[in-house]
Structure 1
Amino acid sequence: MAGRRQDRKISLAEAAQQQGQRPDRGTSRALEDGASPTLRDLTEVLHFALGDGRIWLNDQRMVLMQSLVLGRLRAEIIDAFGFETARAIFMRVGFMQGVRDAELISQRFPQDDLTRALAAGPRVHTLEGFVKVTTKHFEFDRTKGTYYGEFHWDDSSEAAEHVAGYGLASEPVCWMQTGYPSGYTSKLLGRTVIFREMECAGMGAPRCLVIGREAEAWGKDAPEREYLGLEWRARRRSPAPPRVPSRASRPAPAMDGGVAVGVSTGFLRTRLMMEKVAPTDATVLVIGESGVGKELFANQLHDMSARRSGPFIPINCAAIPETLVESELFGVERGAFTGAIASRPGYFERASGGTLFLDEISSLAYSAQGKLLRALQERKIERVGGGKTIPVNVRVVAAANVDLSEEVQAGRFRQDLYFRLSVFPILIPPLRERRDDIPLLMSHFLRLFNAKHGRKVLGFTRAATDALLGYGFPGNIRELQNLVERGVIFADDERQIDQHHLFIGNERLSSALRLTDMGRVEQVPESAADAGRRQPSSPGSEVEALRHAEHALYARALAAADGNVSAAARALGMSRAKLEYRLRKQR
């Protein structure tokens, strides 16, 4: 009847999305064909940085390794320690890999429901090249704590390498690949899920059949618990040598931006040196280019020291006039000079019991350097116009953005002060030498500025990530921070930051490599600004070239989305209405 309408059946995931929450149960049958994140969506987060020797899967650094090499390593571990220990090692490696990829999916696609996130696991597993995964079926009920899934694996590299080394096996041998879905699914569900091979190509089967269930469903006879490190037997435990605390055990980056963030070798070396010197009272000289975060590292050094309860007093020596250096550092007695109507403590007294940070120490006048040297040697000061010495209990951390040894040779910096400051020098490498930290810093600053400006920007497009990974960053971390803040302000809510949101000034971009959805590696084109610097042209031709480039960009996006304007707009980081307007304008 015309006055009645038939209610449309919707899936549990759709109902939950309409209510603004993620479902606690679901099934793979509820997923529509092509549900995001698709394999194409996932290839968008895989980046090859040209010339840097780095491959990124979103913010995770990846490596390419021949399957043969991994097979040889596997064989040596089997021969040295036996099958049981080798199985435990490789299952544990796969488990950790699955956990990390689950974190990646949760971060990159935060709005997708749990069913879609679970369905993305086989696609990421396939993308990483170990095996081709086909989902037969899975279902879960997080409230009841149940999960069941069946998957087919074709062309398992692990099975192939085992057969090549040992022939057909009498039991399943895809250990690392079994650990992977166990870690991935357990991380997303928040409870232990164990996957087990029921058929294995390493045993002569045409392909592998894998079943995953909650740990309790396998019963007490589940050796995977021990292999995955969930229930290590006492006989397997052995004393571990002392080590530097891992990144996972350290405080998470604070939302106020007050924690130095990094995973690169250069960053970890700097962090280790800070941990060594922090418990002492030694004078520290922090060396690094402008914008690398010298004050941030100095503040963190203070927080790691026994003086953390005392004040941290930073001073920009370049901002103090030469005539006021002594009064600012050591204080003033009343009547010392015209206008001194009251006694005032200097920075040394104010930092008593804590840390005094002298930034841009090289800018101090030569005469002021001598007065500072005396204070450091004697640990006593005299206020300007005062007649008594005042002992000071302060730790000094100095910073310079130039090579002080060269300043000494040029006669601009006192040699004795240089040796007094350089008790424990710490070099902070520039950002271009610690590119491993860029993806982590991008995510950190995105969270920071989303919170600061009340925005809901989702992340970075592939083009933006490629550009940032290949950029030279003459302004170091301060410039990256500014670029991300600019992108957060410029981009629309619920969208991603694109390259044109970031580089709107005179920044010069470099090239990077990226992986297309068809598996080809192509070079990212240089920026229009770079092309314009090398090839002068008239204003009219530049406008026409820009118009053609814009038209080609929209055409490629539409072709990649099979003519779907909404999908093309999402890929370009703009609204559908904005894209439709620009398409009409070009006709």
Structure 2
Amino acid sequence: MFDQRMLLMHGFSLGELRRELIERLGLRQTRELFTRLGYQQGWEDYQSCRNEFGGDEQAVETMLLLGPRMRDIEGFVRTQPLRVEIDLEANRFHLEFTWTDSWEAAAHINHRGVGPIPACWMNTGYASGYLTALFGQPFLVRELECLATGHHRCRILGKPLSEWEDIGEDAAFFQSDKLVSLPSLRSTQSASNTGPTPATAPEEHGLVGASAGFNAVVYLLKRVADTDATVLFLGESGVGKEQFARALHRIGPRADHPFVAVNCAGIPQELVEAELFGVEKGAFTGATASRPGRFERADGGTLFLDEIGSLPFAAQGKLLRALQEREIERVGGTTVQPVDVRIVAATNEDLRQAAIDGHFRTDLFHRLNVFPIEIPPLRERREDIPLLFHVFVERFSLRYKKSVQGVTRAALDALWNYDWPGNVRELENMVERSVILSDAGQPIDRHHLFSGGERLSNEPLSVSPMGHLIGKQAHAASRPEVQNLADTLLEQAGSMQAIETVLLNRALERNDGNVSAAARELGLGRGQMQYRLDKRRR
């Protein structure tokens, strides 16, 4: 389906797996596992539907129906709308559905009978993931009635996460572990006039994510947290290596001791050793007093060495000795001091290749590469974009005391299409810019986000800092022959509707009636093309 492999398996086999997991892990952990699995399925199904049918505002109603239809085709549950209210401009939603023939409810009753806990965990996770992707903000779907609790049907309610007063355990798919921060439950529409406080401001160093890539990193953090092993974070610039390093420190046995971060690229080469190991008074011109280095300040805690690949070659040898001997000597000093620190390093370079090329000490590389953790770039974990976007909007709404009401479909579509070369840091900066540029009480639009010269590789247009359209089609549209063609169309066709009809019909003729091929030629998804054709027939 959608050029992706689909696996058919017997429902009773999956039911037996579910039963065994409950017996081995318990109800709570199994529920969290199945909910996250469903969330991933819902997200992927939405992406497939969006690629096929488009993601513009006109397609929202179609996309809302496709998710339940796909779940029915896949054999999980049949869905009927009960009450569906969507106001995109006001950012208000009330999505209430009934479920019948639920595989999960039947499997649960078969193994455990009727009880107090709703059982459609994978289905609620699926609906939450699908709606989160569709509307570009964290959505929570809660099962209000379930066959497994003695009701005659299953009934669900879906709303933005910020509109639920108490999510309890229902948002397990957002939080694979306690070290992962849940997106805030407060609505971004009510920014405080008094500014953020420690009790209300979103956590600056919290981890937020629900993607498979994100959860894989969290799993590795948990495995290594209780040890003193050296950890090397790998990944592109802006993926959040320092945030993960801080999280590692918080959940480890050194949490009550200092976390000291140093950017190796930001220290002048002649001062690197003094910064790391400290300096004695009179060691060099300007050293008017003795002062401890980063190793001493981090004693008992964690020393985070960011951009370790930029460390001068001479300093690499002294760092290696400090790691091996667990002792340092200040610049200009004569005594050796023992230090007890955990080393966590990070780089966006290929240190192995740098060692082969002779730019980085091979022995230091192997000393640092004890437990490498690679953080995937944001473009490979797009499931995290709505969650991060929500957190950043709330953070900057509080900081700048401005209410922001949701995000437009155009902006959401642009967020999906962007390649994110600057990763999470770039998203954070763009959200800050958009909160500043947007009007109070209005949604964030595309031009608020993409006003810094960013180019959307899968979109025909982008916006320059001066507000000009840029991109391949913008350049093509400015050519004289294209302008002359536009004049002819306006003179002879006379209206936008007539021009669109001409283009649609001609594209179909050029492609022998093949709707998909015609859609590709016009730069549309097949669903968008079909929507326009159906509109002409009505």
- Tell me whether the two structures share a fold, i.e. TM-score over 0.5: yes
d(CA) in 1 for partners of 2:117, 2:496? 47
**Match of 2:523?**
none
1:92 aligns with 2:39: no
Alignment check: 8 A CA contact 2:181 2:207 kept: no
Distance 1:292 1:189, change over 3 A: closer
The letter of the residue matching 2:319 is: L
TM-score using structure 1 length:
0.55
Which residue of 451, 463, 471 maps to 1:530? 471
Q: Output aligned runs, 1:461-500, within 5 Å.
A: 461-500=408-447
d(CA) in 2 for partners of 1:498, 1:419? 48
d(CA) in 1 for partners of 2:212, 2:441? 34
1:444 aligns with 2:381: no
Which secondary structure state, in structure 1, belongs to the residue aligned with residue 209 of structure 2? Answer: coil
Give per-residue Cα distances to partners, 1:492-520, cap 9 Å, x unaligned.
11110011111113211144xxxxxxxxx
Give 1:101 deviation, angstroms: 6.5
**Match of 2:97?**
none
Which secondary structure state, in structure 1, belongs to the residue aligned with residue 319 of structure 2? Answer: helix
Give per-residue Cα distances to partners, 1:94-132, cap 9 Å, x unaligned.
898399779989xx899xxxxxxxxxx9xx99xxxxxxx
Alignment check: 8 A CA contact 1:97 1:180 kept: no
The letter of the residue matching 1:50 is: N
1:50 aligns with 2:51: yes
5+ unaligned residues in a row in structure 2: which ranges?
1-45, 79-100, 184-200, 463-468, 501-538
Alignment check: 8 A CA contact 2:277 2:331 kept: yes
Which secondary structure state, in structure 2, belongs to the residue aligned with residue 257 of structure 1? Answer: coil
d(CA) in 1 for partners of 2:364, 2:300? 22
Give per-residue Cα distances to partners, 1:303-352, cap 9 Å, x unaligned.
11111111111111111122111111111111212222211111111111
**Match of 1:417?**
364
1:178 aligns with 2:153: yes
d(CA) in 2 for partners of 1:283, 1:250? 22
**Match of 1:404?**
351
Give 1:176 deviation, angstroms: 9.6
**Match of 2:92?**
none
Alignment check: 8 A CA contact 1:460 1:498 kept: yes
Which residue of 303, 306, 313 maps to 2:253? 306
Give 1:251 deviation, angstroms: 3.9
d(CA) in 2 for partners of 1:53, 1:535? 23
Give 1:63 deviation, angstroms: 8.0
Alignment check: 8 A CA contact 2:175 2:209 kept: no
Give per-residue Cα distances to partners, 1:119-169, cap 9 Å, x unaligned.
xx9xx99xxxxxxxxxxxxxxxxxxxxx9xxxxxxxxxx9xxxxxxxxxxx
Q: Output aligned runs, 1:550-569, within 5 Å.
A: none
Percent identity at matched positions?
44
Distance 1:425 1:89, change over 3 A: farther
d(CA) in 1 for partners of 2:375, 2:136? 34
Which residue of 277, 293, 303 maps to 2:224? 277
Which secondary structure state, in structure 2, belongs to the residue aligned with residue 497 of structure 1? Answer: coil
Distance 1:69 1:176, change over 3 A: farther
Give per-residue Cα distances to partners, 1:39-85, cap 9 Å, x unaligned.
xxxxxxx8754389999999x99686352432699697799776685
Which residue of 278, 281, 288 maps to 1:334? 281
Alignment check: 8 A CA contact 1:259 1:296 kept: yes
d(CA) in 1 for partners of 2:176, 2:275? 41
d(CA) in 2 for partners of 1:533, 1:82? 59
Alignment check: 8 A CA contact 1:290 1:475 kept: yes
The letter of the residue matching 1:354 is: G
Alignment check: 8 A CA contact 1:90 1:176 kept: no
Give 1:245 deviation, angstroms: 7.2
d(CA) in 1 for partners of 2:153, 2:122? 8
d(CA) in 1 for partners of 2:369, 2:244? 16
Distance 1:103 1:424, change over 3 A: closer
Alignment check: 8 A CA contact 1:94 1:183 kept: no
1:388 aligns with 2:415: no
Alignment check: 8 A CA contact 1:98 1:181 kept: no
Which secondary structure state, in structure 2, belongs to the residue aligned with residue 357 of structure 1? Answer: strand
TM-score using structure 2 length:
0.60
Distance 1:393 1:539, change over 3 A: farther
**Match of 1:252?**
182
5+ unaligned residues in a row in structure 1: which ranges?
1-45, 111-120, 126-146, 148-157, 159-171, 193-228, 231-242, 512-523, 557-587
CA RMSD of aligned residues (A): 5.1
d(CA) in 2 for partners of 1:173, 1:278? 39
Give per-residue Cα distances to partners, 1:222-270, cap 9 Å, x unaligned.
xxxxxxx99xxxxxxxxxxxx9973588543561421121100110001
Distance 1:342 1:539, change over 3 A: farther
Q: Output aligned runs, 1:179-218, within 5 Å.
A: 179-181=154-156
d(CA) in 2 for partners of 1:487, 1:413? 41
Distance 1:329 1:91, change over 3 A: closer
The letter of the residue matching 2:51 is: L
The letter of the residue matching 1:436 is: E
**Match of 2:510?**
none
Distance 1:77 1:252, change over 3 A: closer
Equivalenced residue count is: 385
Distance 1:289 1:52, change over 3 A: farther
Which residue of 410, 431, 441 maps to 2:378? 431
Which secondary structure state, in structure 2, belongs to the residue aligned with residue 285 of structure 1? Answer: strand
Alignment check: 8 A CA contact 2:258 2:300 kept: yes
Distance 1:63 1:510, change over 3 A: farther
d(CA) in 2 for partners of 1:191, 1:308? 29
d(CA) in 2 for partners of 1:189, 1:426? 35
d(CA) in 2 for partners of 1:72, 1:337? 74
Give per-residue Cα distances to partners, 1:410-452, cap 9 Å, x unaligned.
1100000000011110101100111110111111111111011
Q: Output aligned runs, 1:368-383, within 5 Å.
A: 368-383=315-330
Alignment check: 8 A CA contact 2:460 2:473 kept: no
Give 1:356 deviation, angstroms: 0.8
